[in-house]
Amino acid sequence: MKRDPVASGTAVRSGTGVASGAPAVSGGVTAALGALGVVVGLRAVFGAPLHASIGWLVPFAGLRIDLDPLGGAFMALTGAVAAAVGVYAIGYARREHWARFPLVMLPVFVLTLLVVPAAGSVTTFLFGWEAMALTSLALVLTEHHRDEVRSAGLFYAVLTQIGFVAILVALVSLSSASGSGDFAGIRAAAGDLGPALRNGVFLLTVVGFGSKAGLLPLHAWLPRAHPEAPSPVSALMSAAMVNLGIYGIVRIDVQALGGGPRWWGTTLMVVGAASAVFGVLQASVSADLKRLLAYSTTENMGLIAMAIGASMLLGASGLASVAAIALTAALLHLVAHAAFKALGFLAAGSVLAGTGLRDLDRLGGLARRMPYTTVLFGIAALGATGLPLGAGFVGEWLLLQSLIHTPQGDNTLLSLVIPLSIGALALTTGLGIVAMVKAFGIGFLARPRSEGAEKAREASPTMLVGMALAALGCVVVAVAPAALGPALTRVASTLPSVGGDQGPKLGAILRLPGAAGSVSPAILAAAFAVAISLVLLLARWGVGARPAAVVRPLWAGGGPALTPRMQYTATSFAEPLQRVFDDVLRPDTDVAVTHVAESRYLIEKITFRTAQADAVEEHLYWPVVRAVAAVARGVRKAHTGSIHLYLLFGTIGLLVVIVVGR
């Protein structure tokens, strides 16, 4: 977790030496690919669908591109993130002395990210998916000389392959049952599939795609791999790659299968709610800036999954117009999250590059040393809190509205699920505020808590431009979500099973169809500006009688001057919360008291240590790993090397097969 400042500079420096223009080429190509993705994606959203197939490119079935508005929207979103990241990467790679390998892999990774939503057939999709997983894994391992990175890579490799197997089984069985290898064919045949197959496919996709989106329980790779990757890669993973997990669920379960029974939606809501609450709890007690952001990704993906689950549940309950609100919430929050999370990780990368630190307990005082980065991170953090004037507000508002507007009547399932989801959503937003106040307040304000933070230097111009692009996205979503309205309407219209054709109108005032409810972020922002100017006027009261303003040292309670070490740290900031939720978080704390030799009433020193592990990981994964290891040890006992014994095993096995098979 802690990096010494020297190592960060030399971390990826290679012996071969990279031409000084290489970062510009790599970043430029990445940004250009991203821009291309935006253009092509938007054309597909608004214009005619794009079809192409290249027979020789992918083994067995050829590459098949089929870009409809749904895929186009995800492609455009990915492209937008990639464009910002590409520009940023120019400066970042230069400052961090990237070797040739990551420089080459970065645009390749973006390319795979763009291919996945464009895939029209199962083979192309799986090919793109696996290519995406492998390139991102390679990028995560950029700084492979650090232990944390290697462990993160292992986690990532294992979990992503488990996920891949689930997706593979789901898609292959789907395409063999429907007799068609492309999504359009599957969709046409979906109605005739048996319920067992459909249910099986649904569960497998939730597991497989959910793992990519960082949903519980296969989330553990995310808070490890995202922070350990170089920051531009973290941004791509957390703002673009996770979206494709959601894309998979929407593409297969909502669009191709056209929704399912009500327990589908309920399942997704439960998984989403659990991920959201768990993610945000971990984020709010995390003291590592990038890990905090990664857990916040799990949180937001959980919210989005919850929204999609709600729209499936409501769609299956025949409440199409309310389902459409939930769907819009999911899509809008996806865009918002991409914007603020990309910005968040890029800003965290600037901090890392500028200080060599990502441990909040040692940061602080950046507002004076890195003013632009501070403002930009502030925009991202405000977006992540879900408060008004931030990017996350409208999406969460829509989700809440869809839950409020659900007519419950005597539908027991709905009247049970909906209030509980509101509770989960509410808890998530509350804790999300804490996490972001901590990240911003402890990390950027006050005084530096270490030498690294003391010597922080501002990000380079290209890095700032990249971040500014992402910030622009945040501001648009926050103040003028109406700009996204037409695109969202087009996307939603491809998803009739969740009432996509009757979604809310995203005008200057957001109005909900068939329900009284509206909000206008733009007018609120304007009114807020008026209110602030009114306060400025009020503050002039008595100005004539006021002595001249002065700057004075901090009031230290009369004691000697306060040192930076006396400040609250991220750990102490989260301590009350950790105490409140210690049943869930199960922090590992330890107090050791050393008494002086002469008397046990006198204390020489007290050592306090606290560590926050991932509770799910601790109590779910490790038992499984241990069980597998135990079985493996048992199997090893049977391996004596005696050929007679093996023959005996073989005979017994054959007999069992015959007896069972008969």
User: Could you give the angle at the alpha carbon of 113 between the alpha carbons of 616 and 303, nearest 5°?
Assistant: 40
User: Within 10 Å of residue 410's Cβ, how many Cβ atoms?
Assistant: 6
Q: Which of 158, 387, 480, 620 binds other proteins (CB under 8 A)?
A: 387
Q: Which of 19, 39, 165, 566 binds other proteins (CB under 8 A)?
A: 566
Position 224 contacts other proteins (CB under 8 A): no
Distances (CA, A) of 513 to 324, 457, 510: 9, 50, 10
Give the Cα separation of 55 and 65 in Å (integer): 11
Please choose, from the candidates 371, 374, 367, 388, the residue with its C-alpha nearest in 3D space to the C-alpha of residue 343. 374
Task: Compare residues 225 and 478 and give the one whose CB is closer to other proteins.
Answer: 478
Task: Compare residues 48 and 538 and give the one whose CB is closer to other proteins.
Answer: 538
Give the Cα separation of 554 and 436 in Å (integer): 25
DSSP state of 58: S
> Scanning residues 270 to 309, which ones bind other proteins (CB under 8 A)?
284
Position 10 contacts other proteins (CB under 8 A): no
φ/ψ region of 603 (left if φ > 0, alpha if ψ in -120 to 50, else beta) reads beta
We find the least distance from the C-beta atom of residue 121 to other proteins, in angstroms, to be 43
Give the binding-site size for other proteins (rule: CB under 8 A).
Answer: 90
We find the least distance from the C-beta atom of residue 453 to other proteins, in angstroms, to be 12
Residue 561 burial (CB < 10 Å; 0-12/13-18/19+)?
A: exposed
> Scanning residues 529 to 558, which ones bind other proteins (CB under 8 A)?
531-532, 534-536, 538-539, 541-543, 545-558
| 226 neighbors 297 (Cβ within 8 angstroms) | yes
Position 336 contacts other proteins (CB under 8 A): no
Please choose, from the candidates 136, 150, 323, 317, the residue with its C-alpha nearest in 3D space to the C-alpha of residue 239. 136
φ/ψ region of 446 (left if φ > 0, alpha if ψ in -120 to 50, else beta) reads left
> Scanning residues 438 to 457, which ones bind other proteins (CB under 8 A)?
438, 440-442, 445-447
> Scanning residues 348 to 377, which ones bind other proteins (CB under 8 A)?
364, 367-368
Residues 578-617, one symbol each (x = binds other proteins by CB under 8 A, - = not), give: -xx-------------------------------------
Residues 106-125, one symbol each (x = binds other proteins by CB under 8 A, - = not), give: --------------------
We find the least distance from the C-beta atom of residue 277 to other proteins, in angstroms, to be 10
Please choose, from the candidates 366, 384, 434, the residue with its C-alpha nearest in 3D space to the C-alpha of residue 574. 434
Q: Which of 405, 466, 587, 614 binds other proteins (CB under 8 A)?
A: 405
Local structure of 529: helix, strand or coil: helix
Residues 453-482, one symbol each (x = binds other proteins by CB under 8 A, - = not), give: ------------------------------
We find the least distance from the C-beta atom of residue 434 to other proteins, in angstroms, to be 5
Q: Which of 409, 634, 641, 661 binds other proteins (CB under 8 A)?
A: 409
| 246 neighbors 337 (Cβ within 8 angstroms) | no
Please choose, from the candidates 461, 463, 244, the residue with its C-alpha nearest in 3D space to the C-alpha of residue 346. 463
Q: Which of 575, 610, 613, 617 binds other proteins (CB under 8 A)?
A: 575
> Scanning residues 87 to 106, which ones bind other proteins (CB under 8 A)?
none
> Scanning residues 501 to 520, which ones bind other proteins (CB under 8 A)?
509, 515-520
Position 427 contacts other proteins (CB under 8 A): yes
Task: Compare residues 45 and 482 and give the one whose CB is closer to other proteins.
Answer: 482
